Amino acid sequence: MKIPYVGCKLFMIAWEVTSKCNLRCIYCYRNYNEFHEKENDPTLIKKILKEISSIPSIKIISITGGEPTLSPFLKDIVKTLYNFNKYIGITTNGNIKEREKLASFLKKYKKMLRVQVSIEGDKKVHEFFRGRNSFDEAILTVKYFSERGIPVSLMMTAFKSNLEKIRYILKLQKKLGADFVAIERFVPTGIGAFLKNELISREDFHFLIKKVKRLQKEGNRIYLNDPIFEPKTGFGCSAGIYSLAISSNGLVYPCSKLRIPIGNIKHKKLSEIWKNSKLLKKLRNRINLKGKCYRCIYRDTCGGCRALAYALSKNIFAEDPLCPISY
């Protein structure tokens, strides 16, 4: 049977450089026990960097956590990745203790770097999800970085409670000088598994897609990071197709929100995990998809969100439950 994604190349890595975090967001995709891991040692950091450098097709590294600015190795990681000619994204909650020092450092690497700050709505909505006194600090970080020429963007996770806050966040983006707004769906996994009441419905998702497209036509710089947004011409679900996630203890996952371990860099080379993982081979064969994702004409260019399918059904190949396309 022909596999649609034969020869796919690893293009992007989401690297959780630390398990430490200074917030306790109620929708976090990590589990509580993951915040108590022993911090990475320099040997593992160097090994991961070596593995990344050994695969030429990797072009983008998304540095996450925990809160990545708490990692004592962040500066060394950025320097090394920059020297490897990798594009670097840093996703932060914006509550940064030494904001001025970090901005001064990052400015040196701004040609190959972007900082993404999570904003979930106005102060009340944001702090419902992320905790008290977190909003003002995040806003200060966006403003401070933008004023110093560091590329910065806003990231919103779509919940039932904040769908009406999109225009508010767009106003913030323009006021603060951020480059654009990116939106992702909430996936109820990890700590967030207890927040399923905030999962948007199929109708909500259809509304979101139409709203983002309308806002784009109005000239706004806003994007929906989702395979279903442009199922015909998009890149589809990237999990195991052109991206992987690496946790702070070396475990490798198909996606940060699809936390099924497929190997550990401590014991195997990243290239071997990418090439030989049985789960990844199955993910790359879209014939394995179930329900309307299997029947869909966009099966090979979309594939639905595998993380959400797994979170709700415990079947990694189940249909995307929020897809508004009818079959």
pLDDT on residue 39: 64
Q: What is the mean pLDDT of residues 181-200?
A: 97
Query: What confidence category does residue 32 fall into, taking pLDDT thresholds of 50, 70 and 90?
Result: confident
Query: What confidence category does residue 41 fall into, taking pLDDT thresholds of 50, 70 and 90?
Result: confident
| CA-to-CA separations, 85 to 79, 196, 206, in angstroms, rounded | 10, 40, 38
Which residue is listed with tokens 């679900």? 237
Query: What confidence category does residue 2 fall into, taking pLDDT thresholds of 50, 70 and 90?
Result: very low
Report pLDDT digits (tens) over 250-278. Answer: 999 999 999 999 999 999 999 999 999 99
**pLDDT reading at 1 higher than 50:** no
Rounded to whole angstroms, the Cα distance separating 60 from 276 reads 22
Give me the helices (H) in the chain, please: 42-53, 74-83, 99-106, 123-130, 135-147, 166-176, 202-217, 270-276, 278-284, 291-295, 306-313
Query: What confidence category does residue 37 fall into, taking pLDDT thresholds of 50, 70 and 90?
Result: low
Angle at the Cα of 71 from the Cα atoms of 70 and 72, rounded to 5 degrees: 110
Report pLDDT digits (tens) over 233-256. Answer: 777 999 999 999 999 999 999 999
Rounded to whole angstroms, the Cα distance separating 320 from 182 reads 21
Q: Are strands 181-185 and 60-64 parallel, antiparallel or unpaired?
A: unpaired
Q: What is the mean pLDDT of residues 63-76?
A: 96
Work out the number of other CB atoms within 10 angstroms of the CB of residue 213.
14
- Which percentage of the chain shows pLDDT scores above 70? 95
Q: Which three-class secondary structure string do you get for 209-269?
A: HHHHHHHHHCCCCEEECCCCCCCCCCCCCCECCCEEEECCCCEEECECCECCCCEECCCCC
Q: What 3-state DSSP class applies to 104?
A: helix
pLDDT on residue 270: 97
Quick check: 65 and 16 in contact, CB under 8 A?
A: yes
Work out the number of other CB atoms within 10 angstroms of the CB of residue 33.
8
pLDDT on residue 255: 97
Angle at the Cα of 182 from the Cα atoms of 304 and 111, rounded to 5 degrees: 115
Range scoring the smallest mean pLDDT among 14-23, 32-41, 275-284: 32-41
Q: What is the mean pLDDT of residues 30-36?
A: 76
What are the backbone dihedrals phi and psi of residue 143, each rounded to the nearest 5 degrees, phi first?
-65, -45
Averaged pLDDT of the chain: 94
